[in-house]
């Protein structure tokens, strides 16, 4: 296994710098490994990330702050494992990710942005049918006194805080069904764009290669996609809204 910083000399204390620890405590003892906080965070929240992008050095400590390295007997007694790479993965899977205050603030900021993005994409102002600007959603979150939890899923939290935000901003979750009629000369330019931004509900192909596609997407993102398509084709292709449904 290769590691981000390479293997350090065993038994010597390693400085954390911008890294952090994953700690597994069992039977009154602890095992610690040094990790990249961002990739470790993503891994522990279900993303498939190679170990070499997470582990900073292939060293297992019984006490990182004192530079005390775990031996085979420590691993065997605590984990029932003597093979080091297998033990590292077990510590990563079952241990606690220890974050500094600064790291927590950064993750909280990122989670807040994810929530704002979700609300901007999925909700519209029922009076105008358009999404609220992200800045206005951010202000509403502050006004509502909402507490963001950086450990919880962004979509789950967005749905939880939506009732509070509605007391400040008129917001409604909608799904839109839109149809695009694309001439043959523009299919290559638009196919990837449209299918990557929306769910295809139905598509038909004309004899000359024209493409009629009906898609479903969050109403907040609909206007942006329609505008992008119109700009790319200089107004030759314009989406037609077939339906808007409240979620």
* Amino acid 4: pLDDT: 35
CA distance 214 to 194: 10
Digit-coded pLDDT (tens) for 40-50: 988 988 889 99
Rg, C-alpha atoms of the chain: 25
The CATH number given to 20-98 is: 3.30.1250.10
Quote the pTM value.
Answer: 0.70
- Mean of all residue pLDDT scores within the chain: 89
169 backbone dihedrals φ, ψ, rounded to 5°: -120, 140
- Please report, for residues 9, 49, 62, 91, 106, the alpha-carbon distance to residue 21 in angstroms, rounded to integers and kept in the order given: 18, 17, 12, 10, 17
> Which CATH class for the 174-246 domain?
alpha beta
Q: Which of 191, 247, 243, 192 is nearest to 222 (CA)?
A: 243
CATH topology of domain 101-170: Arc Repressor Mutant, subunit A (1.10.10)
pLDDT of residue 202 exceeding 70: yes
pLDDT of residue 15 exceeding 80: no
Q: Where are the domains of the chain?
A: 20-98, 101-170, 174-246
pLDDT of residue 13 exceeding 50: no
Digit-coded pLDDT (tens) for 61-106: 999 988 899 988 888 888 988 888 899 999 999 999 998 888 888 8
Confidence of residue 8 (pLDDT cuts 50, 70, 90): very low
């Amino acid at each position: 296994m290769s590691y981000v910083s390479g293997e350090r000399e065993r038994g010597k204390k390693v400085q954390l710098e911008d890294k952090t620890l994953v700690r597994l405590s069992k039977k009154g003892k602890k095992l610690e490994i040094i990790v990249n906080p961002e990739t470790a965070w993503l891994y522990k929240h279900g993303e498939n990330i190679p170990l070499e992008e997470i582990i900073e050095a292939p060293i297992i400590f019984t006490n990182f702050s004192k530079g005390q390295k775990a031996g085979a007997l420590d691993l065997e007694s605590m984990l029932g494992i003597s093979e080091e790479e297998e033990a590292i993965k077990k510590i990563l899977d079952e241990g606690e990710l220890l974050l500094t205050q600064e790291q927590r603030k950064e993750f909280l900021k990122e989670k807040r942005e994810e929530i704002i993005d979700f609300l901007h994409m999925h909700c519209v102002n029922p009076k105008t049918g358009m999404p609220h600007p992200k800045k206005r959603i951010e202000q509403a979150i502050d006004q509502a006194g909402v507490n963001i939890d950086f450990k919880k899923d962004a979509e789950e939290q967005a749905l939880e805080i939506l009732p509070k935000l509605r007391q400040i901003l008129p917001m409604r979750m909608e799904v839109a069904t839109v149809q695009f009629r694309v001439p043959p000369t523009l299919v290559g330019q638009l196919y990837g764009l449209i299918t990557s931004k929306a769910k295809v509900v139905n598509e038909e192909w004309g004899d000359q290669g024209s493409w009629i596609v009906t898609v479903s997407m969050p109403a907040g993102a609909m206007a942006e996609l329609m505008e992008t398509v119109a700009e790319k084709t200089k107004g030759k292709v314009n989406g037609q809204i077939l339906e808007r449904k409240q979620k």
